[in-house]
Amino acid sequence: MSVSMNLITPKPELLHDEPMSRHTSWRVGGPAERFFKPDSIESLQDFLSSLAATTELYWVGLGSNLLVRDGGVAGVVICTLNLPTAVERVGETDVRVGAGVPCTVFARQCVRWKLGPAAFFAGIPGTVGGALAMNAGAFGGETWEHVDRVETIDRAGVQRTRSREEYQVGYRSVSGVATEWFLAATFAFSADQDADMTDIKAMLRKRGESQPLGKLSCGSVFRNPPGRFAAQLIEQAGLKGARSGDAIVSEKHANFIINRGSATAANIESLIETVRDRVVASSGTRLQLEVRIIGEPAEGSAAELQGENPR
């Protein structure tokens, strides 16, 4: 049994100098030199095989967990949202899902099928592909705890199926073949007759009570250090409400940075560094980023004048 999430038939799109502010949850970011939105695996394969081997590639889904600098991105950004989005039951308790499917949609379908533990995926504000790339988690669950195998594509357009054992997985980190990207995954769950939409509703309610939902953010900015919580360290450093331009540390959850409407990527990055420095000074702990930062500073910005390199 499979369920398709596409309601209309998309077409492949290739855009030039496309503002990444349209494609990130912070709503900031300069232009991508080329922005490609494939409508099928075949159109993605054709496009990848046409690129020079030296072309920089970046992948994006819903654009959470991503900060694109104001100077934009040289190379190609590939958006997975129009790739096949079927959620397919491939065994009694196994589910295959495309990388472009939002985690919340995935969670709801698994719960309908009485499979678990899958409800925690509703707390991940991104796509399955993004969750795979960083071993995203929520409410005590982690993506790769349930992965059986993944389907990948390389820059020549060659598809492969790889087992869970071919990847090194840690807290918010995954490493495997550096030049392959996730197209789909098969998850191994268990039958759970108690699984119910009330589980998801309870999780989302809890998330809404503790996190600034509905605001322009990327989700959690920093990873939790071993045995500690990044938000607690940031709050103890007196940083709730700290600002840079129109970027502000959330008063509700200190591990969230909010764009109040007109922040730049430079504002957000400056605030990130301020938080890091102040937390080191107050606790001796240097917070590690959960958010990815890509691209170049805007010409003439402080970061550019200091010779700062992209992370």
> Within this chain, do residues 96 and 189 fall inside the same structural domain, yes or no?
yes
CATH (domain of 122): 3.30.465.10
| Token pair belonging to 19 | 């503002």
User: How many structural domains are present in the chain?
Assistant: 3
pLDDT for residue 307: 37
- HEC string for 118-175: CHHHHHCCCEHHHHHHHCCEECCEEHHHCEEEEEEEECCCCEEEEEHHHCEEECCEEE
Same domain, 161 and 140: yes
Q: Residue 186's domain spans which residues?
A: 87-198
Q: Are 123 and 207 in contact (CB under 8 A)?
A: yes
Q: Which range is least confidently modeled, 1-15, 65-79, 228-242?
A: 1-15
CATH number at residue 271: 3.90.78.10
Q: List the catalytic residues.
A: 172, 220, 290
204 within a domain of the structure (yes/no)? no
Same domain for 42 and 72, yes or no, is yes
Q: Has this prediction a pTM greater than 0.85? A: yes
Q: Which amino acid is at 41?
A: I
CATH code of residue 9: 3.30.43.10
Dist CA 191 CA 233 (whole Å): 39
Q: Are residues 63 and 103 in the same domain?
A: no
pLDDT above 70: percentage of residues in the chain: 93
| Residue 94 and residue 161 in one domain | yes
Judged against a pLDDT cut of 90, whether residue 310 lies above it is answered with no
